[in-house]
Amino acid sequence: EAGVVQSPRYKIIEKKQPVAFWCNPISGHNTLYWYLQNLGQGPELLIRYENEEAVDDSQLPKDRFSAERLKGVDSTLKIQPAELGDSAVYLCASSPSRGYNEQFFGPGTRLTVL
Partner 1 sequence: KQEVTQIPAALSVPEGENLVLNCSFTDSAIYNLQWFRQDPGKGLTSLLLIQSSQREQTSGRLNASLDKSSGRSTLYIAASQPGDSATYLCAFNTDKLIFGTGTRLQVFP
- CB 77, min distance to partner 1, A: 15
Q: Which listed residue (42, 53, 71, 84) binds partner 1 by CB under 8 A?
A: 42
Other beta carbons within 10 Å of 7: 14
Residue 33 near residue 94, CB atoms below 8 Å: yes
44 vs 83, beta carbon nearer partner 1:
44
Residue 42 beta carbon to partner 1: minimum distance, rounded to whole angstroms: 3
Whether the Cβ atoms of residue 113 and residue 83 lie closer than 8 Å to each other = yes
Distance CA 59, CA 67 (A): 12
Listed ranges 15-23, 66-74, 79-87, 100-108: which one lies at the site for partner 1 (CB under 8 A): 100-108
Per CB under 8 A, contacts with partner 1 among 59-88 are: none
Cα(34)–Cα(89) distance, integer angstroms: 11
Q: Taking CB under 8 A as the rule, does residue 56 contact partner 1? A: yes
